[in-house]
């Protein structure tokens, strides 16, 4: 069966109307590049930068980050590599950032909230991303967004970083800026967000936890953490609709993106990028391909 799935490695799955459905990989480190390529990843839909920050005793330098992101970009070019800016909070502390003790870390100081409060942490990452963007197709997405002001503030910082690099005579390139849609607030304002960003990536892991008000790590409420709950599926559909209407790409990078039982619904809603762990990629490609074949048979 695994052997049979290998046949899908170099396949480019398309929707019935010919639109390419990008099946991309979720990665957390450069060590995983080869597995993703072997599986047939059409780029990276989510590069989690947390590991890079947790691995070191100090915060990773701008140079180390630039090198890491450039290696990724080169490995997958011309496919896009979507790098998520640091998404860390009190549940996963790192040295170099003092996190306050919080009663509800998942509702607390994490992701974009922390980054905007700590430009000394955020700006080196943004500068590294601008520099790496000269080496391939880098896109950047912001985690845990709940308001337009966060996107605007991030954009101001990005412009500041670009100005600095220019003054320093360092090479950099602009990148597409997108957001993860993983809070109910982001879903509710999706039509407004869609006017200000280049793409959406739906984070179903957090979106499910927040829509259902059920801690994703608490086994007692695991039953509620169900992406197929009509409330969560409605949130995904609303997001897709807002993105499609605004003409921006809508993708998904939560666990659900790799589920063959859900992929047909997501494609129908208008998602054109699904990012998942490399091992899920061949089956997902087959799944989209089967949809196409079924529609041709009609
Ligand atoms: C998500 O929330 O769906 C997601 C992809 O991000 P993470 O699992 O890293 O929070
Ligand atoms: Mg998340």
Q: How far is CA 138 from the centre of its chain?
A: 12
Residue 298 Cα to ligand 2 middle (Å): 39
253 among known catalytic residues? yes
For residue 143, the CA-to-ligand 2 centroid distance in Å is 7
Of the candidates 293, 256, 291, 253, the one whose C-alpha atom is nearest the C-alpha of residue 273 is: 253
* Atom of ligand 1 lying closest to residue 254 CA: 3
The model scores a pTM over 0.80: yes
pLDDT tens digit string along 241-257? Answer: 999 999 999 999 999 99
Q: What are phi and psi of 26, to 5 degrees?
A: -90, 125
Nearest CA to ligand 1 atom 5: 254
| Cα 272–chain centre separation | 13
CA distance 88 to 247: 30
ipTM: 0.99
Q: How far is the CA of 26 from the centre of ligand 1 (A)?
A: 10
Q: ∠ CA 24-68-78 to the nearest 5 degrees?
A: 40
Enumerate the known binding-site residues: 48, 84, 182, 205-206, 216
* CA separation, residue 161 to residues 62, 134, 173, 233 (Å): 12, 15, 11, 38
Burial of 295: CB neighbours in 10 Å, binned 0-12, 13-18, 19+: exposed
- For the CA atoms of 232, 235, 239, 240, the dihedral, rounded to the nearest 10 degrees, stands at 60
Characterize 57-91 residue by residue with b for buried, 16 or more Cβ atoms within 10 angstroms of its Cβ, and e for exposed: eebbebeebbbbbbbbbebbeebbbbbbbbbbbbe
Q: How far apart are CA 105 and CA 284, in angstroms?
A: 33
Beta-bridge partners for 9: none
Write the CA distances from 34 to 213, 281, 297, integer angstroms: 37, 13, 36
CB 44 within 8 A of CB 73: no
DSSP class per residue in 215-279: -TT-GGGGGG--TTSHHHHHHHHHHHHHHHHHT-EEEE-SGGGG-TTTHHHHHHHT--EEEE-GG
Q: Which of 115, 161, 253, 287 is catalytic?
A: 253
Residuewise pLDDT in 10s, the chain (298 residues):
778 788 889 999 999 999 999 999 999 999 999 999 999 999 999 999 999 998 888 899 999 999 999 999 999 999 999 999 999 986 777 878 888 889 999 999 999 999 999 999 999 999 999 999 999 999 999 999 999 999 999 999 999 999 999 999 999 999 999 999 999 999 999 999 999 999 999 999 999 999 999 999 999 999 999 999 999 999 999 999 999 999 999 999 999 999 999 999 999 999 999 999 999 999 999 999 999 777 776 5
Q: Half-sphere exposure of residue 67, counting CA atoms within 13 Å on the CB side? A: 6
Q: At what angle do helices 148-168 and 119-132 cross, to 10 degrees?
A: 60
């Amino acid at each position: 069966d695994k052997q049979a799935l290998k046949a899908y490695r170099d396949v480019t799955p398309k929707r019935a109307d010919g639109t390419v459905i990008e099946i991309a990989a979720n990665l957390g480190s450069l060590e995983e590049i080869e597995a993703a390529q072997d599986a047939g990843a059409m780029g990276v839909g989510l590069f989690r930068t947390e590991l890079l920050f947790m691995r070191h005793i100090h915060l990773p330098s701008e140079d180390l980050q630039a090198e890491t992101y450039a290696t990724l970009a080169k490995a997958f070019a011309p496919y896009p590599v979507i790098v998520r800016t640091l998404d860390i909070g009190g549940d996963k502390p790192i040295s170099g950032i003092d996190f306050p003790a919080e009663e509800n870390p998942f509702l607390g100081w994490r992701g974009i909230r922390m980054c905007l409060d700590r430009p000394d942490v955020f700006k080196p990452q943004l500068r590294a991303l601008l520099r790496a963007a000269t080496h391939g197709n880098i896109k950047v997405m912001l985690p845990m967004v709940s308001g337009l002001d966060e996107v605007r503030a991030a954009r101001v910082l990005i412009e500041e970083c670009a100005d600095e690099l220019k003054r320093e005579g360092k090479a950099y390139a602009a990148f597409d800026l997108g957001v993860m849609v993983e809070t109910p607030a982001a879903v509710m304002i999706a039509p407004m967000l869609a006017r200000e960003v280049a793409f959406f990536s739906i984070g179903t892991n957090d979106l499910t936890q927040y829509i259902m008000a059920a801690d994703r790590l608490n086994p007692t409420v695991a039953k509620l953490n169900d992406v197929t709950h009509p409330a969560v599926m409605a949130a995904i559909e609303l997001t897709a609709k807002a993105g499609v209407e605004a003409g921006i790409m809508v993708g998904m990078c939560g666990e659900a993106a790799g589920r063959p039982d859900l992929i047909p619904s997501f494609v129908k809603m208008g998602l054109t990028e699904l990012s998942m762990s490399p091992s899920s990629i061949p089956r997902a490609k087959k799944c989209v391909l089967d949809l196409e074949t079924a529609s041709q048979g009609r």
